[in-house]
Amino acid sequence: MALNTEVQSRLRDIVDKACEDQKSGIPGTTVVVVGKDGKELFAHSAGKRGTGCEEPMTLDSIFWIASCTKMLVGVACMQLVEQGVLNLDDVEQTEALCPELKSLKVLKPDGSLEDKKNGITLRMLLTHTSGFGYTFFNERLKQWSYPVGMDEFSGRFEDMKRPLVFQPGEGWEYGVGIDWAGMVLERATGLKLNDYLTKNIFVPLGIKDISMVPSKDMRQRLAYMNSRSPDGTLAPRDHLLRAPLVVDLENDAEVARIFNSGGAGIFAKPQEYCKVLAVLLNDGTCPTTGSKLLRKETVDEMFSNQIPQFPNYSRQSIPAAKPELTNQIPELYPVSGNPPQGWGLTFMLSNGGPTGRSNSTGHWAGLANIWWWADREKGVAGIVCTQITPFGDANVLGLWGAVEVEIYKALA
């Protein structure tokens, strides 16, 4: 599979044009697309490293990929499920490894708390059916956290401790469940999550520029964080995940205290992330190094709908509980005809869509407006990376859609 020079040129024009307006467009972006054979079909950076910055964005720029971390943690957990170390549906195992889960309360609509009636499993944590939420996506949870508030990006595990917003297994809500899945992994293996990912995913794939604690070199290539005001203009903003960026890398004790967030902790060069997407396209085996991360049937399970009982889960709308972090999201990836929606093990499954992607294409996003997809049927995957808040940025969504349309037209 390859894209001819004409298609490559059209894609570059689409990406360049998205970054032309440095006041109200996209400050800078990197877009990478790969095939099942692991070869890059397209890789291009455009714009600046950040709004108000004169340095160009490059393919070597490092992005905080936020919730794109979740898929990596899903791969790691499923490696341990294959090995018999973890069980997807064993309440006793999950709550023995994380006894904090046993005593959780459930936050009722009237603000009162009730006892948890159901146990929490690893599958619930990976599919957002455990009852955990995010304060920036849930008004009730945000209100509960006052007067102090809560910061999911503080670098502290303590900020993952909160009441549930429904009884485990009885609903779907996007939240910190995969941060808890990361803690299950740490306690089962005795390794910090970043160390496990490095040893069992990144090194076998020859990946160097992905980490939860960026090296000095990665820090020097970090893309800047930007915020878009309600009038559409851009401004620089402080980084949301500061702790791993300011920790003294020479102080092992300090580094060890950084919470390795399974939900949002990874910094990465987009081309490196796409090496993992190529593994998913290739049924669990790296097409370039030959390293086998997962069995095909395990990847099949990850791409199988885990929540058929909630066919409209993302149509419940996500409020802008913290408007500096997210826009209101009426629906995640709407498709004409409103077919049943699916969720795999850590990511959304699309049921077709306007760009030409296959049914059961996996995809997900990161808070700073980063979007990836992996279409196993058509053998193509990619990522569109920016560093803009709030989430759900119309400019970035437009870019992502335009890139996908062009790719699928070329494949057809």
Q: Which residues are catalytic?
A: 67, 70, 174
User: Can the peptide bond before residue 204 be classed as cis, meaning omega within 30 degrees of 0?
Assistant: no
Angstrom distances, CA of residue 394 to CA of 26, 159, 398: 10, 30, 6
Nearest to 228 by CA among 387, 45, 365: 387
Beta bridge partners of 143: none
C-alpha span between 224 and 241 (Å, rounded): 12
CB atoms within 10 A of CB 300: 15
Which helix (H) or strand (E) segment holds residue 361: the answer is strand 361-366
Neighbours of 63 (CB within 10 A): 27
DSSP bridge partners of 383: 32, 372
d(C-alpha 50, C-alpha 93), whole Å: 45
Distance separating alpha carbons of residues 382 and 273, to the nearest angstrom: 9
Q: Identify whether the C-beta of residue 260 lies closer than 8 Å to the C-beta of residue 194.
A: yes
What order do you get walking across the sheet with 388-389 strand by strand?
Answer: 234-236, 226-228, 388-389
Measure the CA–CA gap between 53 and 240, rounded to whole angstroms: 19
Sheet holding 267-268, edge to edge: 63-64, 267-268, 210-211
Whole-number Å distance between alpha carbons of 297 and 278: 16
The answer to whether the CB of 317 falls within 8 A of the CB of 330 is yes
Contact assessment for residue 181 and residue 73, using Cβ atoms and an 8 Å cutoff: yes
Name 228's bridge partners: 234
Query: For residues 57 and 43, what is the distance between their CA atoms, to the nearest angstrom?
Result: 12
User: Which alpha helices (H) appear in 116-208, and where do they start and end?
Assistant: 122-127, 139-145, 177-189, 193-197
Please tell me what DSSP assigns to residue 333. S
> From CA 188, how far away is CA 183, in angstroms rounded?
8
